[in-house]
Structure formats: structure tokens, C-alpha cells
């Protein structure tokens, strides 16, 4: 079996700089908010949420949800079905909520999540996404703060995995499992 080695797509330095820019915009936009709830979607967003939540300068707290994904493989096939595995600890009614996601691909996961959270009547609901693949979009999803747009490739690192590998890489890399 040949060793899979991710190729750098977005460097650690570029990611750090971009997260700083996003955090500055978020801090300005929510300057009057006294408790922004930053909601990370497990597992993929744990590193992005950790970096982003430490870089914003406004009062904030973090909470987590977990949703089912396509499965623990590199498959990109989905029927768009999304299921919640773990819900938030906090009640978000009347609160300002920022969903922090690692990746938007077809858009089904984020659109499900936004419908689910909107039903709880938060004061505001926005999204911050590290990477998106515009070519793969199947449903419209609202992305308020975006790190990077990427082509249709399988990316790993910064929380993103390939069959549970490579999540803790400090850069965003591309894997070509077939090679």
C-alpha cells in the first residue's frame, strides 16, 4: 500500500492570517453584543473554532453540536440526509449565534443546521466557514464569513480528516487516495 501524503493547498501562515482577518471583522460586527455564542460542529470544526474563538476580541462563549456525515470514509456521495448526534448544551433563544464550520461542500449539512437552529429563535444567526467548494454546491447556504474557496478536491488538516487521519495537520492539504 502506498503512503498517502497530503500536498499543501493552503499554508499554515495563510490560514493564520485569514483567521485573524475574519476574527477582526466578527469583532467589529458584533461589537455591541455582550455574549456571542460560537457553535462548533464536531468533529471537523474543533481546531478552526479554537483558533477563531481565541482571536475574536468580544465577549463570547463556545458550544458544540455533532451531526452525522457521509460516513468514515473518503466517499463524496451523499443523499443529503443529515442527522443530529449531539445537541447544544445551551438554550439559544434570544441569543446571538455564530455557527463555525470547517467545510461546506454540497451545502446540505449547513442548511439543515441553519433550519434547525433558526427554529429556536436566536436573536441572530450567522455562519463562519473555513473552506467551501462552490462547484459542489447543491443547495443554497448562507455563508457570512468565509476563509477560502477551493476547487473540487478532498482536503485534510485544520480539523478535516480523511478516514480520521490528518485532522491535526496545521495546513490544509489535498489527498489523492487513488494515487
Indicate which residues carry an active-site annotation: 105
Q: Which is nearer to ligand 5GP, 33 or 41 (CB)?
A: 41
| Cα 120 from chain centre | 21
Is 160 among the residues that bind ligand 5GP (CB under 6 A)? yes
* Binding residue count for ligand 5GP, defined by CB under 6 A: 17
Is 128 among the residues that bind ligand 5GP (CB under 6 A)? no
Is 44 among the residues that bind ligand 5GP (CB under 6 A)? yes
Is 154 among the residues that bind ligand 5GP (CB under 6 A)? yes
**129, 130, 156, 158: which one contacts ligand 5GP (CB under 6 A)?**
156
**60, 69, 143, 145: which one contacts ligand 5GP (CB under 6 A)?**
69
Is 33 among the residues that bind ligand 5GP (CB under 6 A)? no
Is 155 among the residues that bind ligand 5GP (CB under 6 A)? yes
Identify the CA nearest to 37 among candidates 53, 48, 57.
53
Residues 90-119, interacting with ligand 5GP (CB under 6 A):
103-110
Q: Which is nearer to ligand 5GP, 33 or 98 (CB)?
A: 98
- Determine contact, residues 67/92, Cβ cutoff 8 Å: no
Q: Which stretch binds ligand 5GP (CB under 6 A): 2-10, 22-30, 87-95, 152-160?
A: 152-160
Is 64 among the residues that bind ligand 5GP (CB under 6 A)? no
With helix as H, strand as E and coil as C, how does the chain read? Answer: CCCCCCEEEECHHHHHHHHHHHHHHHHHHCCCCCCEEEEEEECCCHHHHHHHHHHCCCCEEEEEEEECCCCCCCCCCCCCCCCEEECCCCCCCCCEEEEEEEEECCCHHHHHHHHHHHCCCCCEEEEEEEEECHHHCCCCCCCCEEEEECCCCEEEECCECECCECCCCCCEEEECCCC
The contact set with ligand 5GP (CB under 6 A) reads 44, 69-70, 78, 103-110, 154-156, 160-161
Amino acid at each position: 500500500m502506498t503512503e498517502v501524503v497530503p500536498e499543501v493547498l493552503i499554508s499554515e501562515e495563510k490560514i493564520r492570517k485569514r483567521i485573524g482577518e475574519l476574527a477582526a471583522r466578527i469583532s467589529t460586527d458584533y461589537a455591541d453584543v455582550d455574549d456571542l455564542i460560537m457553535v462548533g460542529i464536531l468533529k471537523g470544526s474543533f481546531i478552526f473554532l479554537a483558533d477563531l474563538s481565541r482571536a475574536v476580541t468580544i465577549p463570547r462563549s463556545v458550544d458544540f453540536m455533532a451531526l452525522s456525515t457521509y460516513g468514515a470514509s473518503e466517499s463524496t456521495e451523499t443523499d443529503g440526509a443529515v442527522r443530529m448526534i449531539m445537541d447544544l448544551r445551551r438554550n439559544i433563544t434570544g441569543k446571538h449565534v455564530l455557527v463555525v464550520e470547517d467545510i461546506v461542500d454540497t451545502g446540505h449539512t449547513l442548511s439543515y443546521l441553519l433550519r434547525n437552529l433558526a427554529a429556536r429563535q436566536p436573536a441572530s444567526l450567522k455562519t463562519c466557514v473555513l473552506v467551501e467548494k462552490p462547484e459542489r454546491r447543491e443547495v443554497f447556504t448562507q455563508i457570512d464569513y468565509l476563509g477560502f474557496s477551493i476547487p473540487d478536491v478532498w482536503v485534510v488538516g485544520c480539523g478535516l480528516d480523511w478516514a480520521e487521519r490528518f485532522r491535526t495537520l496545521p495546513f490544509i492539504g489535498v489527498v489523492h487516495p487513488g494515487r
